[in-house]
Amino acid sequence: MSRPILIAPSILSADFARLGDEVRAIGAAGADWVHFDVMDGHFVPNISIGPGVLKAIRPHTTLPIDVHLMIAPVDVYLDAFAQAGADRISVHVEAGPHIHRTVQRIRDLGCKAGVVLNPGTPAKMLDYLIDDVDMVVVMSVNPGFGGQSFITSQLRKIEAVRRMIDKTGREIHLQVDGGIDAETAPLAIAAGADVLVAGTATFRGGPGAYAGNIAAMRGPVGVAPAEPTPAA
Instruction: List the domains of the chain with CATH numbers.
Output: 2-225 (3.20.20.70)
In angstroms, the Cα distances linking 12 to 19, 61, 106 are: 10, 16, 23
Please write the tens of the pLDDT for every residue from 32-57. 999 999 999 999 999 999 999 999 99
Q: What is the pLDDT of residue 230?
A: 44
| Reported pTM | 0.94
10 has binding-site annotation: yes
Query: Is pLDDT of 226 > 80?
Result: no
Min mean pLDDT across 75-89, 128-142, 211-225 is at 211-225
Q: CA-CA distance, 175 to 12, in Å (whole number)?
A: 17
Q: What is the pLDDT of residue 42?
A: 94
Query: Is pLDDT of 222 > 80?
Result: no
Q: What is the pLDDT of residue 227?
A: 58
219 has binding-site annotation: no
Say how many C-beta atoms besides its own lie within 10 A of residue 228's C-beta: 8
199 has binding-site annotation: yes
Q: What is the pLDDT of residue 108?
A: 98
How much is the mean pLDDT over the chain? Answer: 94
Q: CA-CA distance, 203 to 205, in Å (whole number)?
A: 6
Q: What is the pLDDT of residue 156?
A: 98
Q: What is the dihedral of CA 51, 110, 35, 8, to 10 degrees?
A: -170
What would the mean pLDDT of 78-82 be, rounded to a whole number?
98
What's the pLDDT band for 223 if we cut at 50, 70, 90? confident
Element containing residue 57 per DSSP (H, E): helix 51-57
Catalytic residue among 40, 134, 177, 194: 177
Q: Are 114 and 88 in contact (CB under 8 A)?
A: yes
Catalytic residue among 37, 66, 134, 194: 37
212 has binding-site annotation: no
- Picking from 105, 114, 98, the residue whose alpha carbon sits closest to that of residue 65 is 114
Query: Is pLDDT of 170 > 80?
Result: yes
Element containing residue 37 per DSSP (H, E): strand 34-39
Please write the tens of the pLDDT for every residue from 106-158. 999 999 999 999 999 999 999 999 999 999 999 999 987 777 899 999 999 99
Question: In the chain, pLDDT over 70 holds for what percent of residues?
Answer: 95
In total, the chain counts a number of residues equal to: 232
Q: CA-CA distance, 148 to 41, in Å (whole number)?
A: 18
Which one is predicted more confidently, 185 or 232? Answer: 185
- The distance in angstroms from the start CA to the end CA of the chain is 20
35 has binding-site annotation: yes
Q: CA-CA distance, 90 to 111, in Å (whole number)?
A: 10
30 has binding-site annotation: no
177 is catalytic: yes
**Which class for 172: exposed (0-12), middle (13-18), buried (19 or more C-beta within 10 A)?**
buried
87 is catalytic: no
**DSSP 8-class letter at 10:** B
